Amino acid sequence: MNTLTDEQLLERFPGTRIDHDNKAFYRGLLNRQLLIDRCGDCGHWFHPPRPICPKCWSRDIRPTAVSGRGHIHLLILLHQGPSAPGVRYDTPHPVATIELEEQSGLRFTSTIVGSDNAALKIGLPVELSWIDRGANPVPAFKLSGASQ
Amino acid sequence: MSVRYPIKDQVAFASAATTPFSKTSNERTQAGMAIDACVAAIRAAGLGAADIDGISGSGTSPEAKWMQSALGIPRITWWQNPSLTGTFATTIYEAMHAVYSGACSTVLCYHAAYRLPWQSRAAAADAMRRRVGELTGMMGAVDPETMGGSVGYTAWASRYLYEYGRRREDLGMVAINSRSNALRNEHAVINTPLTMDDYLQGRMIRNPLCVYDMDVAIDGADAFIVTTAERARDMALRPVLINAAASGMVANNDEDQLPGLHQHGQQIVVEEMKRRGDFWIDDVDLYYPYDGFSMLTLAWIENIGLCRPGEAGDFMREHWDWAQQRVLLRGRVPFNSHGGSLSEGATQGSGHIREAVMQLQGRAGSHQVDGASKALLTIGGFFFNAQALSLHTV
C-alpha cells in the first residue's frame, strides 16, 4: 500500500485541489483503487468526496473500493481539450460519466479505452481498466467483454 | 398555498445601455468598456454620478470600489460583485433586493465581457491580455476527463439526443434562429447567414456540440440603472417593472451527478415564476430562452411548457417563419430578438436583459418589436444558474 505523506501526495498531483476531505481518494488512485465515499452509518454512497453524508449527516465517512462495474450514462467526444500525457485529439477523446452499479445515480467521470469511438454508446456496460498517465495511474473504463 | 412575493412590481429598470461588441483584435480594456456602458446608462436615465447610491457589478467585472472612484460617484450605501456562478441575472437580483430592502435607492449594475487568452486566438495574440490572464489565474491543471464547467452542457445535450431519439438538427434550429435575429441587429458581432447545411458541417468541438452550438466570446459591456418603481417614473425613460424573478437549483448540482433532464434548476424556476408573477408565455411580446449553449434553448422551451420533453425542435419548426428563418410564436413573438449569446455575443445573460429592457422602452432601433410591453426571460442552464425574469411596462 502507498503510504505517502501529505506533502508527497501533493507532489504527485500538482495543480489538483487536494485537501483532508478528499486525500483518501487520491491516495487510492496511486494504489490502483477507486475509492468512493460511503457513509458508515446509513451506507449511502456519494461522489465527489464531502465531509458529511448528504443523506443522514453522519460524519463517519469511509472511502470504499467499488467494483468498477457500471454503465455509460453521459458520453461526449472531445475534438479539442486540455493537454495531457498520451491524450491526442486527432482521434476524438471520449469522456464518459459512468453510473456505478453500487447505487442508482452514483456516477464517476473518466475516459473509455480499448474500443473504437464508433462502438461507444450511452447505456453500454463497462468495467474499470487502469491506465497510466505520466507517473500516475488513472481509473479508466472499458466496454464489458472488451480486451485491454 | 398563498404566494408571498412582496417585491412584485416594486423595483424597475430605469435604463439600459451597451457598448460596441467585438470579437477581433482591439485595445479596449475591460474597465474601459464597463465605464462606457455605465456612463451611457446613467445619462440615458437622465441622472448624474451623485444620483447613484448603490453599485452591483458582476463578479468578473471591475470591482464596485474601483468603479465608484473611476466614475466619481461621491457617496454610496451598498455595493456588491456577486459571483458569475449564476448568470448576470444574479447581479440584477442583488440590486433589486437592496433597493427593496432600503439599503439603497438607485443602483448602477454592469457586466463587462472580456476575452482572455484561452478564449480566442486573437485574444492570445494580445500581450496585454496575456498579462491579464496570468493575473486572473484560471489556467490551473485540468484533466480532459471532466464534465465540469461548460463541458457539462455537452454531456447533457448528448443525453438529451439519446433519451428522446432526437438529431442534431434540433440544436441547429436554435443556432439558425439566433443567427437570423442577429442579422436584424447591427450591434451583433456575427452578421453572416447560417443554413442547416452550414450548421451540420460546422467544426465539431465536443461531439455532439459544434462551433455553432457554443456562444461567441466577445469584448463588450452592458449597464443598467435599477431603482424603485416610484423613482423610475420620475426619470427620463419609460420604467420597466420587474414583475417576478426566480432562481433554482437542486442537489446534486455537480454536472455529472445531476439527477436528470427532468430534475434540475429550470423546473424550480418555472414553478416559482408561475407562482410569483402575473403573466406567462401566452401573454408576452418577447421571449428570451437563454442560448449560451443551443441545448439550453431547447430545454427552456420544453420546461416553460410550450411543448413536451424532447419536442422543442419540432415546436420550433411548427412556429418557424421560413422567410425570416426564425421562430415567431403566434406569428409575432421572436425568441432572442437580438441574436442571443450565440450570435450577438456571449454576455452571460446581460445581453438578453439589456435587449428586453431596450425593447420595452421602445429603444431597440432596427429590430424593435412594435408595441412590446411584456417580456419573459429564462436565463441560464441546469446546474447552478437557472434563473428567470418577467418584465413589463404599465
Position A134 in a domain: yes
Q: Are residues A99 and A49 in the same domain?
A: no
Q: Are residues A74 and A136 in the same domain?
A: yes
User: Sorting pLDDT into bands at 50, 70 and 90, what band is B116?
Assistant: confident
* Residue in the structure block whose three cell numbers are 466577445: B218
Amino acid B15: pLDDT: 98
Residue A14 has pLDDT above 90, yes or no: no
Picking from B23, B7, B12, the residue whose alpha carbon sits closest to that of residue B218 is B23
Residue B136 has pLDDT above 80, yes or no: no
CB distance B151–A84 less than 8 Å?
no
How far are the Cα atoms of A58, B248, B313 from residue B279, in angstroms, in the given order?
44, 19, 25
Average model confidence (pLDDT) across chain B: 95
Which of A15, A54, A87 lies nearest to residue B144, judging by beta carbons?
A: A87
Amino acid B140: pLDDT: 55
Q: Could you read off the pLDDT of A29-47 as tens digits, one per residue?
A: 999 999 999 999 999 999 9
More confident residue, A146 or B211: B211
- Number of alpha carbons in the 13 Å side-chain half-sphere of residue B193: 7
Q: Are residues A60 and A74 in the same domain?
A: no
Q: What is the DSSP letter of B103?
A: S
How far are the Cα atoms of B25, B32, B86, B175 from residue B359, in angstroms, in the given order?
30, 26, 24, 22
Q: Could you read off the pLDDT of B346-369 as tens digits, one per residue?
A: 999 999 999 999 999 999 999 999
Task: Please report, rounded to a whole number, the percentage of residues in chain A having pLDDT higher than 70.
Answer: 97
Position A1 in a domain: no
Q: Are residues A59 and A80 in the same domain?
A: no
Q: Are residues A123 and A107 in the same domain?
A: yes
Q: Which residue of B has its CA nearest to A106?
A: B257
Q: Are residues A56 and A82 in the same domain?
A: no
> CATH code at A25?
2.20.28
Chain A neighbors of B156, CB-CB under 8 A? 74
Q: Which residue of A has its CA nearest to B259?
A: A105
Picking from B295, B290, B345, B296, the residue whose alpha carbon sits closest to that of residue B120 is B345
User: Sorting pLDDT into bands at 50, 70 and 90, what band is B117?
Assistant: confident
Q: Are residues A84 and A46 in the same domain?
A: no
Last residue of a domain, one of A65, A87, A112: A65
Last residue of a domain, one of A18, A43, A65: A65
Chain B neighbors of A92, CB-CB under 8 A? 204, 207
Chain A neighbors of B205, CB-CB under 8 A? 79-80
* B382 in reach of chain A (CB within 8 A): no
Last residue of a domain, one of A65, A88, A109: A65
pLDDT mean over B210-221:
97
User: Which residues of A have a CB under 8 Å from any CB of B?
Assistant: 14-16, 46-48, 54, 73-82, 84, 87, 92-93, 95, 97, 105, 107-111, 122-123, 138
Q: Are residues A138 and A76 in the same domain?
A: yes
User: Sorting pLDDT into bands at 50, 70 and 90, what band is A105?
Assistant: very high
Q: Are residues A58 and A81 in the same domain?
A: no
Q: Which three cell numbers stand for residue B38?
A: 455605465
Position A131 in a domain: yes
Residue B265 has pLDDT above 70, yes or no: yes
Position A59 in a domain: yes
Amino acid B25: pLDDT: 79
Decide: B227 and B105 in contact? Cβ < 8 Å: yes
User: Sorting pLDDT into bands at 50, 70 and 90, what band is B370?
Assistant: very high
| Dist. CA B211–CA B342, nearest whole Å | 10
Position A148 in a domain: no
| Dist. CA B257–CA B144, nearest whole Å | 18
Decide: A96 and A74 in contact? Cβ < 8 Å: yes
| Dist. CA A128–CA A71, nearest whole Å | 11
pLDDT mean over B240-268:
97
| Dist. CA A38–CA B91, nearest whole Å | 38
Q: Are residues A88 and A125 in the same domain?
A: yes
Position A100 in a domain: yes
Picking from B127, B55, B138, the residue whose alpha carbon sits closest to that of residue B92 is B55
User: Sorting pLDDT into bands at 50, 70 and 90, what band is B341?
Assistant: very high
Q: Could you read off the pLDDT of B27-70 as tens digits, one per residue?
A: 899 999 999 999 999 999 999 999 999 999 999 999 999 999 99
pLDDT mean over B196-218:
97
Decide: B339 and B179 in contact? Cβ < 8 Å: yes
How far are the Cα atoms of B32, B225, B228 from residue B57, in angstroms, in the given order?
14, 12, 18
User: Sorting pLDDT into bands at 50, 70 and 90, what band is B141?
Assistant: low
Residue A68 has pLDDT above 90, yes or no: yes
Total tally of structural domains belonging to chain A = 2
Residue B273 has pLDDT above 60, yes or no: yes
Position A48 in a domain: yes
Q: Are residues A74 and A114 in the same domain?
A: yes
CB distance B207–A73 less than 8 Å?
no
Which of A54, A74, A93 lies nearest to residue B158, judging by beta carbons?
A: A74
How large is the ipTM? 0.92
Q: Are residues A50 and A76 in the same domain?
A: no
User: Sorting pLDDT into bands at 50, 70 and 90, what band is A1?
Assistant: low
Rounded to an integer, what is the distance from CA B58 to the centroid of its chain?
Answer: 12
pLDDT mean over B175-182:
98
Chain B neighbors of A80, CB-CB under 8 A? 205-206
Amino acid B106: pLDDT: 98
Neighbours of B162 (CB within 10 A): 17
Q: Which three cell numbers stand for residue B248?
A: 433554482
Amino acid A2: pLDDT: 65
Amino acid B1: pLDDT: 54
Domain ranges, residue A137: 69-143
Q: Which B positions 136-165 lie with beta carbon below 8 A of chain A?
A: 140-147, 151, 154-156, 158-159, 162
Position A116 in a domain: yes
Crossing angle of helices B30-44 and B64-71, rounded to 10°: 60
Residue B138 has pLDDT above 80, yes or no: no
